[in-house]
Amino acid sequence: MARKVKSVHEVLESREFKHLVARRWRVSSILSILLFAIYYGYILLIGYNKKLLMREIGNSTTLGIPLGVSVIVLSWVLTVIYVFWANKSYDPEVQRLKDHLKE
Amino acid sequence: MPTAIPMQTTLGSPTASAIFFFFAIVSITLFITYWAAKRTKTTKEFYAAGRKISAAQNGLALAGDYMSAASFLGIAGMVALKGYDGMIYATGWLVGWPALMFLIAGPLRNLGKFTFADVVSFRLRQKPVRIASAIGGILTVLFYTIAQMVGSGNLIKLMFGIPYEWAVVIVGGVMLVYVLFGGMLATTWVQIIKACLLLFGVSVMAIIVLAKFDFNPGNLYYAVTQSSETVSGVTARVGRKALEPGGLVTSPIDAISLGLALMFGLLGLPHILQRFFTVRDAKAARISVLYATGCIGYFYCIIPIVGFGACALVGRDVIAHFDKGGNMAAPLLAEVLGGTPFLGFIAAVAFATILAVVAGLTLAGASAYSHDVYVHVIKRGKATEQEAVATAKKATVVFGICAILLGILFKGQNVAFMVGLAFAIACSANFPALLLSILWKRFTTAGAVCAILVGAFLSVGMIIVSPTVWGDVFGHKGPDGKPIGLIALKNPAIVSMTASFVAGWLVSLVTKEQRAEDLFENEKLRTYLGVGAE
């Protein structure tokens, strides 16, 4: 099947390309906002509600310890989500648009 | 005050095992440099290892670049002496990595060639933007290097008993050999080896610590609360306060500002950004950030175990006796856990850590001069391959010698603020220009130059008048004896980063640059699809 070859300008103006760029930044923004919420949520909790972090949850362990660890783990989980999205959704779309450019 | 040496230790004297591990690491890395030197002829090989580094290798090397001796020994020590506050501090060091991935990893790889200035100047006028980026880049690298050199001189003196000046000269000399002959390829492999050794060493320590407490962290925390410490002559139990937030986050605005500096500073560190040009494409760049975030996250999760272990098994008095800042907590714990051989191993790992980080910084500093200033400004982009490589090597030697001299010059200074300064400049000067150039069509040459200069000078200026430098370093004390500054803010990021964005935005609005706007459309094809990427 002969594929329709598009000019650079056509690709840039195409709805698919604009969608791709918009979606890329939407995903990035959402994940960045989540990252901010997780990290600054933790910092503000320390600043304004130390009591909560001091609460003992079992043998000598304070609630603050698992909270600190989960900030690190959740940040990493966000990067996993991004990579998963980019590999599954972004890259195939990039490849499709690039194929349009090829002769 | 502890009068007698409270513990028998070989720390501070060059033992056979320490010397053995030290020479083993240096010989292996020099052998790699010899191997890499044969594969390092062109600029692409010197700056970017021929773009043949795999995602996993680059991920480990990124982790190696970031996990400095300061974070290994410093955070372990902070947890040992200050308890939970050290953990809060550790979380801040990780959160920049996801942001790096979401905001710039892909576009950076697609647009750049050797330095982040390639990306900023992509569609703008080369000369002014390159010069401004080189100023931001070199300032960042320089302050980071001084902190590393002074820290390394002190650590090596404490661990091996070598005089400070000799320690600085050895670090400077060995890393100069890596970078000069092996370029990015050797530097990358030194980082990989160091990252593996560091992760291995810290894991072994954490496992042995946990084994001593029946693999129940609760037992470890209990032992921490039961350990004793001496404060102004009174010995008492450490108590539960070790597991609760203390004085680190007293002013939320300072904490937010520090968080911004740590998060976005990473996105402006030239030696980290340069690593993205060593992989094949944007996908590999993305996967390498995933590996790096995993390694670094794991590292910061288990470092507190080492710190708490040192508090419980070595004791705060002994740790503070060797170094008030607590930097010797991890080495002392290693000796308690595995005797002199394990101490020797950990000491050698710390040494390798310092070497690798300084090598990465030197390469980034040399690239900023030789690629951005020499090739693009002095030679107007018309330097031959030989000229470019020769200049890169000369710049490496000059930067290496400067690092050694500055390390000796700053002997005995408290340089912790210099790392803060490096991050503040990185997030206020380099990051805003980088992000705006990728995202905003109307960004102009004048806007970029203003954003970089406003961010760089405002952050340096604000740190000089902050309580950390004005009070601690210049000795201005308030009526209550606490260090004071002309401003209350300890970390300028919240102001200086915002100011940089505003400056870049306002100046771009009043200086229209038609050519840059036209090029933006074509740049998009490269930014998002990777068409035409190096």
A46: nearest CB among B90, B249, B300: B249
Rounded to 5°, angle at Cα B365 from B168 and B59: 90
SS (H, E, C) B169-233: HHHHHHHHHHHHHHHHHHHHHHHHHHHHHHHHHHHHHHHHHHHHCCCCHHHHHHHHHHCEEEECC
pLDDT for res B7:
66
Q: Do A21 and B528 touch (CB under 8 A)?
A: yes
pLDDT for res B523:
87
User: Is A65 among the domain residues?
Assistant: yes
Q: Do B222 and A24 touch (CB under 8 A)?
A: no
Which amino acid, one-letter code, is at B185?
A: L
* Structure-token pair, residue A62: 């304070």
Q: Do B297 and A73 touch (CB under 8 A)?
A: yes
Largest Cα–Cα distance in chain B? 74
Q: Count residue pairs from A and B with Cβ separation < 8 A.
A: 153
User: Residue B228's beta-bridge partner residues?
Assistant: B237
Look at residues B353, B399, B458, B375 and name the one whose alpha carbon lies nearest to residue B141.
B399
User: Is B214 among the domain residues?
Assistant: yes
User: Is A21 among the domain residues?
Assistant: yes
Q: Do B98 and A20 touch (CB under 8 A)?
A: no
Cβ-count burial B457-482 (b if 16+ within 10 Å, e if not): bbbbebbbbbbbbbbbeeeeeeeeee
Residues of A in contact with B521 (CB under 8 A): 12
Q: Do B301 and A94 touch (CB under 8 A)?
A: no
Whether the pLDDT of residue A50 is over 70: the answer is yes
- Is the sign of the CA dihedral B387, B270, B464, B461 positive or negative? positive
Query: What residue in B sits closest to A94 (Cα-Cα)?
Result: B529
User: Is B511 among the domain residues?
Assistant: no
In order, the DSSP letters of chain A are -PPPP--HHHHHHSHHHHHHHHHHHHHHHHHHHHHHHHHHHHHHHHHH-HHHHH-B-SSS-BTHHHHHHHHHHHHHHHHHHHHHHIIIIIHHHHHHHHHHH--
pLDDT for res B501:
97
Whether the pLDDT of residue A3 is over 70: the answer is no
User: Is B476 among the domain residues?
Assistant: no
Put simply, whether the predicted model's pTM sits higher than 0.90 gets the answer yes
The total number of structural domains that make up chain A: 1
CA distance B506 to B74: 41
pLDDT in tens, chain B (534 residues): 444 445 677 777 777 888 888 889 889 999 999 999 999 989 999 999 999 999 999 999 999 999 987 788 889 999 999 999 888 888 988 999 999 999 999 999 999 999 999 999 999 999 999 999 999 999 999 999 998 888 888 878 877 888 999 989 998 999 999 999 999 999 999 999 999 999 999 999 999 999 999 999 999 999 999 998 888 888 888 888 888 888 777 778 888 888 899 899 999 999 999 999 999 999 999 999 999 999 999 999 999 999 999 999 999 999 998 888 888 899 999 999 998 889 889 888 888 888 899 999 999 999 999 999 999 999 988 889 899 999 999 999 999 999 999 999 988 777 777 888 899 999 999 999 999 999 999 999 999 999 999 999 999 999 889 888 888 778 888 888 788 888 888 889 999 999 999 999 999 999 999 999 989 988 888 999 888 888
Neighbour-count burial of B305, counting CB atoms closer than 10 A to its CB (0-12 exposed, 13-18 middle, 19+ buried): buried
Residues of B in contact with A24 (CB under 8 A): 528
- Closest-CA distance, B401 to chain A, in angstroms, reads 38
Contacts with A52 (C-beta within 8 Å, 6 or more apart), sequence order: A45, A63
Locus of tokens 């390159």: B130
Cβ contact B176:B462 at 8 Å: no
CA–CA distance from B46 to each of B52, B81, B337, B367, B391 (Å)? Answer: 12, 43, 42, 9, 11
Own/partner pairs for A23-32, CB < 8 Å, 24+ apart? A23/A89, A23/A90, A24/A90, A24/B528, A27/A82, A27/A85, A27/B102, A28/A82, A28/B102, A28/B103, A31/A78, A31/A81, A31/A82, A31/B98, A31/B102, A32/B98, A32/B99, A32/B102, A32/B103
Cβ contact B333:B10 at 8 Å: no
CA distance B51 to B530: 15
Cβ contact B75:B300 at 8 Å: yes
Strands B234-237 and B228-231: antiparallel
Q: Do B524 and A43 touch (CB under 8 A)?
A: no
B252: nearest CB among A35, A47, A79: A47
User: Is A102 among the domain residues?
Assistant: no
Contacts with B185 (C-beta within 8 Å, 6 or more apart), sequence order: B36, B39, B40, B45, B49, B50
pLDDT for res B406:
92
User: Is A97 among the domain residues?
Assistant: no
User: Is B271 among the domain residues?
Assistant: yes
User: Is B440 among the domain residues?
Assistant: no
Per the rule left: phi > 0, alpha: psi between -120 and 50, beta: everything else, B14 is beta
Instruction: Give me the interface pTM, i.e. the ipTM.
Output: 0.92
User: Is B375 among the domain residues?
Assistant: yes
Q: Do B259 and A40 touch (CB under 8 A)?
A: yes
User: Is A49 among the domain residues?
Assistant: yes
Residues of A in contact with B525 (CB under 8 A): 8, 11-12
Q: How far is CA B112 from the centre of its chain?
A: 21
User: Is A54 among the domain residues?
Assistant: yes
Cβ contact B115:B48 at 8 Å: no
| Domain, as residue range, for A33 | 8-90
Whether the pLDDT of residue A17 is over 70: the answer is yes
Look at residues B442, B446, B430 and name the one whose alpha carbon lies nearest to residue B519.
B442
Which amino acid, one-letter code, is at A21?
A: V
* CATH code of the domain covering residue B88: 1.20.1730.10
Cβ contact B166:B35 at 8 Å: no
* Structure-token pair, residue B334: 């290693």
Query: What residue in B sits closest to A73 (Cα-Cα)?
Result: B297
CA distance B151 to B416: 9
User: Is B472 among the domain residues?
Assistant: no
User: Is B177 among the domain residues?
Assistant: yes
Q: Do A71 and B95 touch (CB under 8 A)?
A: yes
The total number of structural domains that make up chain B: 1
Own/partner pairs for A16-19, CB < 8 Å, 24+ apart? A16/A93, A16/A96, A16/A97, A17/A97, A17/B524, A17/B528
Look at residues A82, A57, A54, A46 and name the one whose alpha carbon lies nearest to residue B259.
A46
pLDDT for res A4:
61
Query: What residue in B sits closest to A38 (Cα-Cα)?
Result: B95
CA distance B91 to A75: 10
pLDDT for res B1:
41
| Domain, as residue range, for B126 | 19-412
